[in-house]
Amino acid sequence: MSHYRNSTLILLFFFLMSPFLACLVTPPTITNHSEISNNFLEVQTWDSEFQDWYCISNPPPYPSPSPNDDDSWMARIAIDSLDVLHVVWSDRTDDPSWGVDDEILYSQFNGTSWSTPIAISHNASWSGTSDQPSIAIDSQDNIHVVWSDGSNHLWQNPPGETDILYSIYSATSGTWSAPICISDDMSQWNTGDSKIPFIAIDSNDDLHVVWHDATLGQPWNILNGDTEILYINQINGVWGTTVIPISDDLTDINTAASEFPSIAVDGNDNLHIVWEDEHDNLTPGGWGTDQEILYRNFTVGSGWQPIYGLSGLGVNNWNNDLSRFPIIAIDPNTDVLHVVWQDDSNGIWGPDIEIFYSNSTNGAIWTNATALSGIGVNTWNNDHSYGPWITVDNLSIIHVVWHDDTNSLSEWGDDREIFYSNSTNGVTWLNATCLSDQPDYSNMPNTQPTFWGSEEPCIAYDSTNFVHIVWWDESPNTTLLVPGWSDFIGELEIFYTTDYLPVGIPVLQSIIPNPSTNGAINLNWTPAANAAYYKIYRHTQNITISGLGGLTPIATTRSTTYTDTMGTNGKYYYAIVAHNVGGDGSTSNCKSVDVELSQIPWWIWIIIISILLLILILLIYNRRKKKKKQA
């Protein structure tokens, strides 16, 4: 509790530090703008490369009564170094272990099955709503989750106020930590709602969290009652004690709502943040009075940089309406910044809301905005497109998902669906793909009078660059007369799909030398298609005949070579199994090697030979000595 401060100390801190912080927190400055691009998606399709969706919040075999009998929504996904999928979401299901309030649930897929969801936000004395989770995984495969929580606790003031809570899953202990509050402390200085957190992790496994906050009475929000983007970090496992306003400075220059932040970290550990902002900017080159997407970064060695408007500025500003819900991703190879958002501006794409995209190599100059969800006179997209998410994989391919109201009676019906597109250059985009339904309406027959929504997708990629998407869906199973994921019409569940392909079979090459006289066994095999890594098995019996039952891999590697070391003579059999996010592939062919070590260790032979040489030298010496005496 020693890190908690009272409100008096906080006010004193800001009074003393305001000149210093004012230098760090630069007022909004606009130096560049993006215009509009005419690149677009021409047609829609349903892509059979993606698997049929799967319900992970209430999976088969659908017991009755169902363990999940209420809404599941706001899903987020992350993938660890072993390609295990980790998903968190907010759930309204009641359970004796956590009560009747909304909780953050967690499930993982290990290549074989999804684990039973558990509540990670639960505390026996808390009863408030837990929602809006964000998840990230560090280099040690520890899982970090933040969320907004309205539970009553010592930091809550006034009652019902929401704060940002945090929990970590330790890969070492296999347990989740008790939630802690990172947006407030025992002084209760934070008196407004803290919502929509977003977490990112740098190369040192330090944590960076942003959220929007309605706290009054602080230097960045004294009387206006607007929301601001706040930031806090955890360095070397210790949370900072001071939050930093990102969307404002200590003069309260930003008097309008700043909301829905997204943060990413580049290869040099610089921070990049985007958010939506209602602040008016009528200066020359500004964005006017409509809501825009703003950007700011923190550069290692230089600190916080000026704020840029990237969704449309300048005299010929094409953007004349609301720009909302931005998400930022960074190319892991080039550090190019990629941002998507939804925009209500009217243009050649029509009067409906579209998904827009822009990128930047430095955060200051942004490419012309592209309406990637549909544009042109004969556009297929004639209704609103919402809620985008973006990721950029290890091949620098840009992947975008969103939900869309566009109807297609010959493809997916007239309900809201999840769409996907990708690009290798940010200019030419793959035709839009419907992920949440199929041409036979197997998601939900179009004959139903109810509007079945598929919404709020989130996307991540694995080590083999397959993508994995989760979203919430109110489509029921085809009938409630048989067991399924739906307990009532309109119940929301978390769905999942992927484009991953089954892993191939490696071919193990003959082991050379054979026999091995030094115990080193050099294994080489051909690459298996779609493999993330390989498991090496060793046995004293022919694995082709005995199988892998009861065997544990002696090692895993992402390489196609491995050297085993044996210190006991005998015949040993080896086989390789390729693995990816979908699980293990078939076992490779089996190869054997004979280990024929000398019964006496090599170093003993060196000692023996050395002794014999010494004896020989002594004999020669004594013989010469005798001859000299005789002479």
Q: Is the pTM of this model over 0.85?
A: no
Within 8 A by CB and 6+ apart from 299, the residues are: 270, 305
Q: Give residue 64's pLDDT.
A: 63
Cα distances from 333 to residues 298, 338, 340, 361, 461, in angstroms, run 20, 13, 19, 12, 14
Mean pLDDT within 567-595: 95
Q: Give residue 560's pLDDT.
A: 98
Mean pLDDT within 177-203: 89
DSSP conformation letters of 385-426:
EEEEEEEE-TT--EEEEEEE---BTTTTBSS-EEEEEEESSS
Across the chain, mean pLDDT equals 82
Tell me how far apart the alpha carbons of residues 597 and 520 are, in angstroms, rounded to a whole number: 10
Mean pLDDT within 391-401: 97
Q: Give residue 446's pLDDT.
A: 33
Tell me how far apart the alpha carbons of residues 590 and 373 are, in angstroms, rounded to a whole number: 50
Mean pLDDT within 310-331: 80
pLDDT at 18 over 60: no
Q: Give residue 411's pLDDT.
A: 64
What would the pLDDT profile of 58-69 be if each residue is shown by its tens digit? 877 766 666 777
Q: What ranges do the domains of the chain cover?
A: 7-498, 520-595
Q: Give residue 233's pLDDT.
A: 98
Q: What percent of the chain has pLDDT over 90?
A: 48
What would the pLDDT profile of 439-472 be if each residue is shown by its tens digit? 544 444 333 434 568 899 999 999 999 999 999 9
Question: pLDDT category, 320, cuts 50, 70, 90?
Answer: confident
Q: What percent of the chain has pLDDT over 70?
A: 78
pLDDT at 515 over 70: yes
Q: Give residue 571's pLDDT.
A: 97
Handedness of CA 122, 128, 134, 136 (dihedral sign): negative
Q: Give residue 30's pLDDT.
A: 32
Question: pLDDT category, 263, cuts 50, 70, 90?
Answer: very high
**Residue in this structure with the two tokens 């004639």, named with its chain if needed:** 382
Tell me how far apart the alpha carbons of residues 434 and 411 are, in angstroms, rounded to a whole number: 9
C-beta separation of 145 from 133 below 8 A: yes
Q: Give residue 192's pLDDT.
A: 84
Handedness of CA 429, 431, 434, 438 (dihedral sign): negative
Question: pLDDT category, 170, cuts 50, 70, 90?
Answer: very high
Tell me how far apart the alpha carbons of residues 424 and 341 are, in angstroms, rounded to a whole number: 19
Class of domain 7-498: mainly beta
pLDDT at 242 over 90: no
pLDDT at 28 over 50: no
What would the pLDDT profile of 115-157 be if each residue is shown by its tens digit? 989 999 976 566 788 999 999 999 999 999 999 998 876 666 6
| ω into 553 cis (within 30 of 0) | no
Question: pLDDT category, 606, cuts 50, 70, 90?
Answer: confident
pLDDT at 48 over 80: no
pLDDT at 183 over 60: yes
**Residue in this structure with the two tokens 């969704």, named with its chain if needed:** 311
Mean pLDDT within 265-278: 96
In this structure, of 82-86, 224-228, 292-296, the range with the lowest mean pLDDT score is: 224-228
DSSP conformation letters of 517-571:
SSSEEEEEBPPPTT-SEEEEEEESS-HHHH-STT---SEEESSSEEEEE--S-EE
Beta-strand ranges (E) seen in 103-162 are: 103-109, 118-119, 130-137, 143-149
| 174 vs 491, higher pLDDT | 174
pLDDT at 39 over 60: no
Q: Give residue 478's pLDDT.
A: 54
Task: Report CA Rg, the chain.
Answer: 31
| 206 vs 250, higher pLDDT | 206
What would the pLDDT profile of 365-390 be if each residue is shown by its tens digit? 888 888 888 754 446 777 889 999 99
In this structure, of 530-539, 543-552, 567-576, 595-604, the range with the lowest mean pLDDT score is: 595-604
Architecture of domain 520-595: Sandwich (2.60)
